[in-house]
């Protein structure tokens, strides 16, 4: 870990070059809030994998400018060259972590197919009509004994790091793949064998630390969810604390039975912070992780209770499948996919989150069952917040085979994209009942919708040095 003096020196060095910013993104999280303009388009994953529709997955371009004549419409779809990729999470070639790199632009989306292992590079120079730049085929990825690409993070100096959930056979151990700024495979970022399971990760360069979480190997999760796999130890429950510059694990935290399947990993945005959160989806808990006395610790800070349901022979877990932190680091948002709830906690005191508001919608128990007459099936899933923290959007698909188990109607009806207006001053959420993007009404047929990204960066991808 960097010493206090080293951190101070790095801070001053960064402050110095902030006056000569020529790279992508914003100099600070506060600059992202103050200098950004409201989002006009959103890039959203659209899926036909797992359906009977013979069409490839796509990236949908959704008009979210309320002054536009095409507001709430999918104005373009970039179809992938192959079927069955299962597009899932995706990210940028560059973000605010490279704000000091002159000439680098946030222009290319790296869009992995989690099921196929294929990596697609999209050029978004024309924001409303992106195009495929190049494709890295699965065989090229398998040469590094990796498969199941998941989280894409741009890293300083224009390179790209991708978490991989399995080896070339789709089994454990997993690892990380690194691409250079020409979208060529640079190689493995980590020494093989450092971790068995992998999922999401986030890094804080100023503290030389990265935290990664655990899902399972592709051979386990891709066919669907089976509780026997959990009992057999085929799903993760640990956090890995990495030496960022060395690419090695320095510490592993076992979250125990209350930390089963830890998914999204979010550090606070301020680069000085050593606090973050992870959602243990199956255990329905949120953990706060933090550094103290040169060690990282994890404590359960939010617990969502299971509920009875007449169609289930066991209490139904909330399944908080996504979380995000507002750019000002004041609020933690999350989605309880099965229960049907999107929630908002004040994290001004990171150790003691305080619930301020929620919306009960969709899922098994949501009070709101339709929007503009469109029946809601699944609960809120992937979230994205505007940079100014005033508009929260979400989609409703998790993973095709898991959708079929928990919400089989999602395949027939397609997903929706919804929105809530946020008042950061009062700490309130209010559903925008006039906003609805219907992925069930597309020329090829109903599609599932997953992750959302903004062209100018967002709360779930930008990192600062």
Indicate whether 300 pLDDT > 50. Answer: yes
Residue 96 inside a domain? The answer is: yes
Rounded CA-CA distance 278/298 in Å is 9
Residue 307's nearest CA partner among 332, 281, 278, 284 is 284
Q: Identify the residue whose tokens are 């946030």.
A: 106
Q: Could you list the residue range(s) of the whole structural domain that residue 73 is in? A: 41-453
Within 233-285, where are the H helices?
none
Mean pLDDT for 13-21 is 49
Q: What is the DSSP letter of 368?
A: B
Mean pLDDT for 188-214 is 97
Indicate whether 5 pLDDT > 70. Answer: no
pLDDT category at 21 given cuts 50, 70, 90 is low
More confident residue, 16 or 435: 435
Sheet holding 295-303, edge to edge: 262-267, 275-280, 285-292, 295-303
Residue 425 inside a domain? The answer is: yes
Rounded CA-CA distance 365/358 in Å is 13
Indicate whether 108 pLDDT > 90. Answer: yes
Write out pLDDT tens, residues 147-161: 999 999 999 888 999
Q: Identify the residue whose tokens are 């128990």.
A: 365
At 17, which helix (H) or strand (E)? helix 4-18
Q: What would you measure as the largest C-alpha separation in the chain, in angstroms? A: 62
Q: What is the DSSP letter of 156?
A: G
Residue 185 inside a domain? The answer is: yes
Residue 207 inside a domain? The answer is: yes
Q: What is the predicted pLDDT for the residue at 14?
A: 52
Residue 23 inside a domain? The answer is: no
Indicate whether 4 pLDDT > 60. Answer: no
Residue 464 inside a domain? The answer is: no
Question: What would the DSSP string read from start to end of 47-96?
Answer: E-TTSS-----EEEEEE--TTSTTTTSEEEEEE-SSS---B---EES--G
Residue 444 inside a domain? The answer is: yes
Sheet holding 175-179, edge to edge: 147-155, 159-166, 175-179, 185-188
Mean pLDDT for 17-41 is 84
| Of 150-159, 215-224, 284-293, the least confident | 150-159
Rounded CA-CA distance 113/434 in Å is 33
* Cβ atoms within 10 Å, residue 38: 15
Copy the structure tokens of residue 136.
């890295």
What are the angstrom distances between the C-alpha of 382 and each of 39, 59, 416, 460? 17, 15, 11, 11
Q: What is the predicted pLDDT for the residue at 6?
A: 39
- Cis bond before residue 159 (omega within 30° of 0): no
Write out pLDDT tens, residues 398-419: 999 999 999 999 999 999 999 9
Write out pLDDT tens, residues 341-354: 999 999 999 999 99
Copy the structure tokens of residue 293.
């006395």
Q: What is the CATH number of the domain that holds 148?
A: 2.130.10.10
Rounded CA-CA distance 298/139 in Å is 38
**How many structural domains is the chain composed of?**
1
Coil, strand, or helix at residue 277?
A: strand
Residue 14 inside a domain? The answer is: no
């Amino acid at each position: 870990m960097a010493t206090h003096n080293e951190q101070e020196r790095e801070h001053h060095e960064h402050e110095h070059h902030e006056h000569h910013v020529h790279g992508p993104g914003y100099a600070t999280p506060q600059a992202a809030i103050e200098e950004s303009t409201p989002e006009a388009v959103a890039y959203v994953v659209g899926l036909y994998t797992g359906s009977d529709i013979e069409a490839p997955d796509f990236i949908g371009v959704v008009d979210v400018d309320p002054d536009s004549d095409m507001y709430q419409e999918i104005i373009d779809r970039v179809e992938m060259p192959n079927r069955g990729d299962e597009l899932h999470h995706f990210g940028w070639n560059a973000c605010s972590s490279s704000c000091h790199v002159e000439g680098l632009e946030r222009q290319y989306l790296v869009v992995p197919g989690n099921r196929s292992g294929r990596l697609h590079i999209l050029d978004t120079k024309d924001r409303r009509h992106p195009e495929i730049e190049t494709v890295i085929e699965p065989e090229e990825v398998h040469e590094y004994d990796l498969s199941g690409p998941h989280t894409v993070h741009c890293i300083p100096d224009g390179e790209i790091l991708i978490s991989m959930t399995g080896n070339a056979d789709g089994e454990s151990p997993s690892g990380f793949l690194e691409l250079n700024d020409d979208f060529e495979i640079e190689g493995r970022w980590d020494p093989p064998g450092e971790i068995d399971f992998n999922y999401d990760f986030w890094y804080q360069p100023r503290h030389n630390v990265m935290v990664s979480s655990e899902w399972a190997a592709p051979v386990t999760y891709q066919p669907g969810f089976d509780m026997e796999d959990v009992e057999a130890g085929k799903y993760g429950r640990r956090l890995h604390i990495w030496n960022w510059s060395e690419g090695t694990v320095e510490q592993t935290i076992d979250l125990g039975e209350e930390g089963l399947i830890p998914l999204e990993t979010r550090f606070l945005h301020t680069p000085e912070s050593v606090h973050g959160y992870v959602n243990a989806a199956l255990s329905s808990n949120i953990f706060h992780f933090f550094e103290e006395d040169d060690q990282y610790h994890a404590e359960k800070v939010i617990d969502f209770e299971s509920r009875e349901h007449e169609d289930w022979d066991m209490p139904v877990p909330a399944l908080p499948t996504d979380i995000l932190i507002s750019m000002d680091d004041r609020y933690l948002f999350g989605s309880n996919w099965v229960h049907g709830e999107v929630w908002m906690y004040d994290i001004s005191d990171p150790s003691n989150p305080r619930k301020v508001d929620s919306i009960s919608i969709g899922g098994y128990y949501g009070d709101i069952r339709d929007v503009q007459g469109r029946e809601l099936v699944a609960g809120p899933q992937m979230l994205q917040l505007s940079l100014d923290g005033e508009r929260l959007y979400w989609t409703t698909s998790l993973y095709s085979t898991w959708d079929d188990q928990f919400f089989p109607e999602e395949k027939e009806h397609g997903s929706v994209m919804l929105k809530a207006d946020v008042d950061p001053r009062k700490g309130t959420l209010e559903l925008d009942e006039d906003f609805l993007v219907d992925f069930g009404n597309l020329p090829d047929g109903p599609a599932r919708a997953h992750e959302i990204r903004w062209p100018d960066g967002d709360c779930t991808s930008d990192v600062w040095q």
